[in-house]
Structure formats: C-alpha cells, structure tokens
Amino acid sequence: MPLHIEDALLERIATAERLVVLTGAGISAESGLGTFRGAGGLWEKVRIEDFATPEAFARRPTEVWRWYAERWRGMRAAEPNPGHRAIVRLQALFPSVLVMTQNIDGLHQRAGTKNVLELHGGLRCARCASCSRRMPMDDALAIATDPPPCACGGIYRPDVVWFGELLPEGALERAAAAAAACGVFLTVGTSGTVMPAAGLIGVAAQAGAVVIEVNPEPSAMSGFAHINLDEAAGIALPWLVEKIEQWRNRSRG
Ligand code: OAD
C-alpha cells in the first residue's frame, strides 16, 4: 500500500504545537546497526541474561564490557541515515519537539537533533558501577580492553540501562509528561515490547494525541496508532516531513 494520511489527520498534525518522537532500534537499521528482535536480531545471537543485566556484569564483567566495546565501535563507525535527518527537519516545523530514544548509539545527536532524551542511557560514556563517575567510552577503551578501574575502587561499566534497572533519574517522569501533553506522538522503529518505554505510546493515545507509527512490520503497539506508515524509516519519515511542509505551504498561500 502506498503511504497515505487522511486530510483531517494531516491538518491536526501540521497544526500541532508539540511533537514527541519515540525511536527504537529500527531507525538505525538503515545505518547498518542491527535490531534486537526478529530474524537475525541481536537477542537471537546472545542471551539477554548473559549480557544485558547487572547480574551478568557482576558475574562476567570482562565479557560484558568487551561485547559493549565492540558494539560501540560499530556505532561510532555508523552514520545517521535519512530517517535521523528527517527528524532533524521536524525541529524547524514544530515549536516544541522532544525525541525520546531507546537507542544508545547517539545517532540522533550526531544528525543534529537537539532535544534528545535517552531512555536507556548512551554508549558514548562509561560509568563507575560504584560511584557513578563518568568518562567517555573512547577514553575507557584507550586504557584497557577490560573494564577500567575507578579511583573510588569500583570499576567502570557501560552507561546504559540493563534489564531489571530503572531508567536514568527523572527520564520516565519527563517522558510521560511529554507524552501526555503532546498533540502528535510519532513512534519509529520499535517493537513496542519493552516497558516502560513502550507504555508511552498508550499514554499519548489516551491523552488524545494523534499517534503515527513508522514500522515496516506490525508492532505490539500498532493498535494505538491512528496512522500506520508501514515503510522503512528512511523512506516514511522524509515522506511525512514533506507532507507537513506541503500542507503548511498550501495553508499559507
Ligand atoms: P526491536 O529490535 O525490539 O524492534 C525493532 C523494530 O524496528 C521492529 O519492530 C522492526 O520491525 C522495526 N524496523 C526494522 N527495520 C526498520 C526500518 N528500516 N525502519 C523502521 N522500523 C524498522 O528494538 P526496540 O523496540 O528498540 O533495550 O527494542 C527496545 C529495547 O529492547 C532496546 O532499547 C533494548 C532491547 O533489549 C535494552 O537493551 C535495555
């Protein structure tokens, strides 16, 4: 099916004050970074309980550190794609844009998005597991291939959120408040299966936002969406931005 938005919904989108975007691994797929679920996904290759929990790090810190170090090298080598860049263009179209991401790759920021809330932390930093002091991951990797020691006696870990951990302080409150107050909620490239991030889609829908989903496959949260753009983010997002720009131009002229 070709991409389509009904006129009445397009008008609501184009005239909204506040836009909130929630992104997941799918937006970085076209930058060459793998997603977690589905055929060939990361969680088919390794087990969450071996690499993405605080218990895994306590049990086997070197393996976990090296796995994240390898992923960081891939992320650092990747470039933002047309999907990331389309989101940057949205900043010029709405008075208020907040991009909440579950991704730890930093590609939204590198594309030029200003207001990014990293719900699952970011891999560009390492954080002491004991005293929470941070240092750039690149500096940590220059020191050793093992997790570097901290002056406090602890060791550094990736500055990301693992399963069983809370989101960074204040992040969920800020995200939920933004979801409840926005006119448009755009969810991109997420399976909608990991709480509490996925729950933000329902928060926005229940508060009356127009919910747009960009995902070539149905997600667990597709039912909340008023508009399902079932295409890759690198195609659907530039198309959406153009639609909004065209509507604005028509309404001006
Ligand atoms: P998933 O791997 O669960 O889902 C990725 C989604 O992206 C799927 O629904 C795909 O259909 C979709 N997708 C694939 N290619 C796409 C493209 N080119 N454009 C748009 N969508 C595309 O990733 P997340 O939902 O981000 O958490 O996963 C959520 C969390 O689970 C992650 O942050 C991570 C993971 O475990 C932690 O590690 C704590």
Give the number of the atom of ligand 1 that is nearest the alpha carbon of residue 103: 33
d(CA 217, CA 232): 9
β-bridge partners, 216? none
- Among 28, 47, 99, 215, the mutation site with the greatest number of ligand 1 atoms within 8 A of its Cβ is 215
Q: Which residues are catalytic?
A: 120
Residue 228 three-state SS: strand
pTM of the model as a whole: 0.97
In the predicted structure, residue 144 carries a pLDDT above the cut 90: no
Q: Output the residue whose Cα is nearest ligand 1's atom 26.
A: 24
- Please give the distance, rounded to the nearest whole angstrom, from the Cα atom of residue 95 to the centre of ligand 1: 28
Nearest to 161 by CA among 64, 53, 68, 22: 53
Nearest to 20 by CA among 163, 123, 119: 119
| Half-sphere exposure in the Cβ direction for 69 (13 Å, CA) | 19
The percentage of residues in the chain with a pLDDT greater than 90, rounded to a whole number, is 96
Task: Calculate mean pLDDT across residues 146-172.
Answer: 96
User: What is the tens place of the pLDDT at every residue in 187-209?
Assistant: 999 999 999 999 999 999 999 99
**Could you give the residue ranges of the DSSP H alpha helices within the chain?**
7-14, 42-45, 48-51, 54-59, 61-77, 82-90, 107-111, 137-143, 171-181, 199-206, 233-252
Q: Label residue 138 by pLDDT band (50, 70, 90).
A: very high
Task: Calculate mean pLDDT across residues 146-165.
Answer: 96
| Half-sphere exposure in the Cβ direction for 226 (13 Å, CA) | 19
In the predicted structure, residue 173 carries a pLDDT above the cut 90: yes
- Please give the distance, rounded to the nearest whole angstrom, from the Cα atom of residue 120 to the centre of ligand 1: 13
